[in-house]
Each structure stands twice: as structure tokens, then as C-alpha cells.
Amino acid sequence: MTESHSTTAAVPHDEHVGHATGGKVAMWLFIAQDGFSFGGLLLAYALLRTWSHDWPNPQHILGIKFTAVGTFDLICSSLTMVMAVAAAQRADRKALVGWLTATILGGLFFLGMQAYEYTHLVREGIGFTQGTWEGHPINPLFGTTFFVVTGFHGCHVTAGVIYLTFILFGAMKGKYTQGGLSYSPVELVGLFWHFVDLVWILVFTFIYLL
């Protein structure tokens, strides 16, 4: 019997959500409401930017290529995350621990890049409620929206790294590689982590590129 058949037997088929576990539906609901939070922040940013006639060009202030590296790092960590879920599904503890560790390192690398970026911007004069660039005052809302949106995302990455670390400890004990539905917590943390990646794709476009 394969892993998949024991899974489908363990979760009765539901008319609406198929074989999705209760945990998975709950995580999707959480992700949906979290998506509204990010959507609200991005809309507020778009409104403030549209109403301002002196919005600086983000390309001149923010490091696009530097942040693109961070973006690709999150994409790589999404790949390692799906590999972790696949490892848990085939009950391969060693691979699961390896892929989870790689995902955590990817998250920490992103946070390190963000800390470096924040430090650089603050030193250059971009603050939370005020901003100067190369000695000239700029629209203070640029810094406000930048730090609120990227900071809110950074909090999610931090929460994701902590969540992944707890899952890693469980994985090292073999909790998620016992067959059946034991892999489910890894799948749930994976959904959250991919959501963090997905949101960054949008934040990177709206805050940095546009």
C-alpha cells in the first residue's frame, strides 16, 4: 500500500473540500484573512502614492538587484519547502530534516538581507515618518509605506522561521515520518511559507519595481 492510499483512507471524502484535512482548510482560511491584511496595506500604499505628486522613483532609492537576490532566495526556499513536504510524505526523515534546514536558512538569509537594507536606508535618511535622500527632503510617506509593508512581511518571515524551527525539532524526532497523515503539520507550515513567498512576489513588484 502506498502512502497516498493510507492518506485517502484516513481522511473521509467531503463533498466540498475533498480529502483536505481540517487543519488544511483552517490554514487556507488563515491565509485568506492574512491576504486581506496585505491587500489592505498594498491598497493604502497605492492610494497614498496616487494622491502624492512628489513620490520618489523607487528605482533611485531602493536596491532593485539586491532585493531581486532576496526574492530569488525566497523562491529557492519555496522549492526546498515542497521538497520537505514530499520527503515527509514518503516518510524520509533524513531528507525532511535536510530540506527543512535549507528552508530555514533561506528565511534567515532573507531576514539578514532585509536588516542590511533597513540599516542602509535609515543611515541614508529614510525614516518611518520622515525622509531625506542625498540631502534633499522627500515625501515622508515613501518611508512610512515602505517600512510598514515590508516590515509586516518581515514579521511573517520571522514567524515562518520560528514555525519551521519547531517543525524541524519534531522532524528530528521522527514525528512526521510515521506514515499516514503524520506528515500533515509539514504540509501546513509549507502552505504558510509559500504564502509568505507569494506575498513577497507582489510586494517586490508594487514597492520596488513600479
Partner 1 sequence: MSKKNQAHGQAPATAHAPDPHAPAAHAKPHGPSTSTFITIWLTLGVLTLIEIFVPQVYSAPWNHNTKILLLIFLASAKAILVAAYFMHLKWETRWVRWIALMPAYMALFAILLMCEEYFRPLL
Point out which residues bind partner 1 (CB under 8 A): 2-5, 7-9, 11-20, 24-25, 28-29, 31-32, 35-36, 38-40, 42-43, 46-47, 50, 59, 64-65, 68, 71-72, 75-76, 78-79, 81-83, 86, 89, 187, 190-191, 194-195, 197-198, 201-202, 204-206, 209-210
Give me the least distance between CB of 166 and partner 1, in Å please.
Answer: 21
Distance CA 31, CA 27 (A): 6
Q: Which is nearer to partner 1, 3 or 117 (CB)?
A: 3
Q: Which is nearer to partner 1, 13 or 136 (CB)?
A: 13
Q: Which is nearer to partner 1, 130 or 205 (CB)?
A: 205
Give me the least distance between CB of 139 and partner 1, in Å please.
Answer: 17
Give me the least distance between CB of 145 and partner 1, in Å please.
Answer: 14
What DSSP state is assigned to residue 132? E
Of 161, 70, 73, the C-alpha closest to 118 is 70
**What are the φ/ψ torsions at residue 136 (nearest 5 degrees)?**
-105, 140
Of 76, 99, 202, the C-alpha closest to 150 is 202
Measured CA to CA in angstroms, residue 26 lies from 2, 23, 43, 44, 179 at distances of: 26, 5, 26, 27, 22
133's enclosing H/E stretch is strand 132-133
Give me the least distance between CB of 38 and partner 1, in Å please.
Answer: 8
Give me the least distance between CB of 130 and partner 1, in Å please.
Answer: 26
Q: Which is nearer to partner 1, 41 or 161 (CB)?
A: 41
Q: Which is nearer to partner 1, 147 or 200 (CB)?
A: 200
Distance CA 84, CA 101 (A): 9
Of 176, 201, 205, the C-alpha closest to 190 is 176
